[in-house]
Amino acid sequence: MRLVFVYGTLKRGLSNHHYLAGQTFVGDASTAPGFALYDVGGYPGMVRAPGSAGGVSGEVWSVDDACLSRLDELEGTAEGLYRRERVPLLGPHAAAGVEAYVYLKDVGGLRPTGGAWAERGP
């Protein structure tokens, strides 16, 4: 089992949460400062933002290898859209070795979301 921090459409109640079916919710969490969230067009992209005082809010999930493979495919890791890597979290998950999907494309011109993602209706 691996711990994964999700911050966008995979969160409970959002459009891609079904990818986490059968996995275990561990708790709400936030990254340490130094991360920012951008609206990539219907979904968010979290990037490293050194020097930023902000962080990103989300959830920690314990997932099995089959789920992790599905998440890697969804997040486009093979295509270079996201990279799954360890990220520092605050609070009780700080030392847990949690991984998250970090957006790899240029965010210039994209709208920052303020560290939290909520899907908008049509």
User: Which listed CATH number (3.10.490.10, 3.40.50.2300, 3.40.640.10, 3.40.190.10) goes with 2-112?
Assistant: 3.10.490.10
Catalytic residues: 75
Q: Nearest CA to 89 among 33, 30, 48, 35?
A: 30
| Residue-averaged pLDDT of the chain | 93
Q: Is the pLDDT score of 14 beyond 80?
A: yes
- Give me the percent of the chain exceeding a pLDDT of 70: 97
C-alpha to C-alpha distance for 21 and 1, rounded to whole angstroms: 14
Q: Is the pLDDT score of 23 beyond 70?
A: yes
Could you tell me which residues come within 8 angstroms of residue 106 by beta carbon, excluding any fewer than 6 positions away? none
Q: Is the pLDDT score of 50 beyond 60?
A: yes
Hey, what are 64's tokens?
Answer: 């099995």
pTM, full prediction: 0.93
Model confidence band, residue 122 (pLDDT cutoffs 50, 70, 90): very low
Could you tell me which residues come within 8 angstroms of residue 80 by beta carbon, excluding any fewer than 6 positions away? 104
Could you tell me which residues come within 8 angstroms of residue 46 by beta carbon, excluding any fewer than 6 positions away? 7, 8, 31, 35, 36, 37, 38, 56, 100, 101, 102, 103
